[in-house]
Structure 1
Amino acid sequence: MKYWLLLAGLFMLSHSNASVVGGSDSAFNYEGSRFEKGGFILHFTSNETTFSNAVKKRMVDAFFTVYPVLVRDFNNGAAKEVYFKVDTAYHGVAATGGGKVVYDPVWFVKHPGDIDVVTHEVMHIVQDYGRSVGPWWITEGIADYIRFKYGIDNEGAGWKLPEYSDRQKYSDGYRVTARFLAWIEARVKKGTVKALNTALRNHSYTADSWREVTGKPVDDLWLEYSKNPAL
């Protein structure tokens, strides 16, 4: 009898430890509103009652795939607790501030494959520039460069960087600036994006930062890029 009691006790102990070890890293209940894994927490709410469960699942998975890597690579001090809200009152694609991202549900009805909107937006949380002296186009250009490099399904969304055109300017922001940054990383100085990102977050960015990082002013870099823009 004591033998069986001992076995039963060991059985209960092993299962209790398994639940503790698995803890927040266990399989998600995607119908929930709070998700935790690896020290990161995501709160997901929606006031759109017909919002796709499949899209929600992909958004949650994208967050836990991409965000911890971006925090590791660009800002270890970034928020570990993030809030996503799908909001029928918001009309755009997405917007980010203070560790919170709001999404337009209509966008995902029209573009259900555009999951890397998540990648772009959570990079804004990692950037954490606050009242930065940097221009908007660098902020958005870096976020789209990150989408280009870290995105999990840009192809599925039909999203890509544009080919160079003489109508473009490096200050166009978003994908135009992102491609310019990708060219600099490939052809001029690897690590430029990380260095600019750090300068912006530390509020030490100036127009001279491009020269300090790459050895060349931004206008000279753009001129070289315009002559040979191949990545």
Structure 2
Amino acid sequence: MLFRVVIFVVISIFWSCSFKATTKNPLKSEWIAFQRNGLVLNYQSNDTQFSGDTRAKLIETFFIVYPQLIEHFNPEASKTIYFLMDTSFNQYPAARWGDTIRYSSAWFTKYPKDIDVVTHEVMHIAQSYPSYDPWWLVEGIADYVRYKYGVANVAGGWHLPEVTSSQKYDNGYRVTARFLVWCENKKPGCVKAFDHALRTNRYNSNMWSTIFGKTVDELWKEYLDDAAI
């Protein structure tokens, strides 16, 4: 429990940071701007050996996925986004600060087909929640979106996990995402409702009972009995 609290605090600090690219050059290289249908993607990299093909796929995925996320979840989301491909960033495949996503060039050099990291991260921009609470639902929704809107999940070897009794809905990421897929099948629109409530700071655990007539714990027990999606 203490470990989870520490992780939550650390992630919350990152989430609240407004690491937004401006006229400064964090990577000491030039910005390259790509524009399409009212969106601007600014790309910067300090990896001179980074694959041009992988870069093109990351950029194309943005222009395929992000317009859909804006339309379905948040029309007010930022229309100018920043991608940083960084040789020194190796903690995760990627992380989002404000309107900026910092990517690990080492990750994509090793896993060049894991393109839908973009899908997960740009959903965080579309989310634009005032807080990272509850973290498991925030990350679960982002992975739900990767599952629903991803363009290369199969090629990237990414999939939702098999269900086991040791899992819990608040594990976050793919475990929560799979549960949300199941919930959406029962009550279409519930994920969008959760997303909106989180963005407007109106989410609370009672929403589950309001939408489903059952608590989240009761739903999880039902899910474990028949988790087919």
Q: TM-score, normalised by structure 2?
A: 0.85
| RMSD over aligned Cα atoms | 1.2
Give the Å deviation of 1:131: 2.6
Using the TM superposition, give the Cα deviation of residue 217 of structure 1 relative to its aligned residue in structure 2, in angstroms. Answer: 1.0
Q: Which residue of 2 aligns with 1:24?
A: none
Aligned to 1:191: 189
Alignment map for 1:69-84 (pairs within 5 Å): 69-84=68-83
Query: 5+ unaligned residues in a row in structure 1: which ranges?
Result: 1-30
Displacement after TM superposition at 1:32 (Å): 7.6
The equivalences for 1:126-141 within 5 A come to: 126-131=126-131, 134-141=133-140
Return the letter of the residue paired with 1:110: K
The answer on 1:37 being equivalent to 2:8 is: no
Q: Which runs of 4+ in 1 moved over 3 A?
A: none
In the other structure, the counterpart of 2:107 is 107
String of CA shifts for 1:151-203, please: whole Å, max 9, x gaps.
Answer: 001000011001110010100000000000000111x2011110000000000
Mapped to 1, the partners of 2:95 and 2:130 lie a distance apart of: 15
Distance 1:60 1:123 in 2: 15
Corresponding residue SS for 2:202: coil
3-state secondary structure, aligned to 1:36: strand
* 2:204 corresponding residue in structure 1: 206
Contact 1:141 1:178 in 2 (8 A): yes
Q: Report the Cα distance in structure 1 between the residues aligned to 2:101 and 2:213, rounded to whole angstroms.
A: 36
Contact preservation (8 Å) 1:84, 1:101: yes
Task: Return the offset for 1:215.
Answer: 2.3
Structure 2 letter corresponding to 1:191: G
SS at match of 1:83: strand
* 1:99-143 Cα distance to aligned partner (Å, 9 max, x none): 1000000100110000000000000000000235x3111000000
Show the 5 A alignment for 1:156-195: 156-186=155-185, 188-195=186-193
Distance of 1:42 and 1:52 partners within structure 2: 18
Q: Distance in 2 between matches of 1:126 and 1:113?
A: 23
Determine helix, strand or coil for the equivalent of 2:201: coil
- Measure the CA separation in 2 of the matches of 1:149 and 1:222: 21
Which protein has greater RCO, CA pairs closer than 8 Å, 6+ apart? 2
Query: Number of paired residues?
Result: 199
Compare CA radii of gyration and give the structure with the larger one.
1
**Contact (CA 8 Å) 2:95, 2:103: kept in 1 or not?**
yes
Counterpart residue type for residue 111 of structure 2 = H
Aligned to 1:119: 119
What is the TM-score of this pair, normalised by structure 1?
0.84
Distance 1:166 1:141 in 2: 18
**Ranges in structure 2 where 5+ consecutive residues have no aligned partner:** 1-29
- Partners of 1:85 and 1:119 in 2: CA distance: 15
SS in 2 for 1:67: helix
Q: Distance in 1 between matches of 2:208 and 2:118?
A: 28
The answer on whether the counterparts of 1:195 and 1:213 sit within 8 Å (CA) in structure 2 is no
SS at match of 1:158: coil
DSSP-derived class of the 1:162 partner: coil
**Which residue of structure 1 lines up, in the alignment, with residue 24 of structure 2?**
none
Within 2, Cα distance between the matches of 1:215 and 1:36? 45
- In structure 1, C-alpha distance between the alignment counterparts of 2:212 and 2:225, rounded to whole Å: 18
Deviations 1:193-229 (A, max 9, x none): 1000000000001111111222221001101000000
Establish whether residue 149 from structure 1 lines up as the match of residue 148 from structure 2.
yes
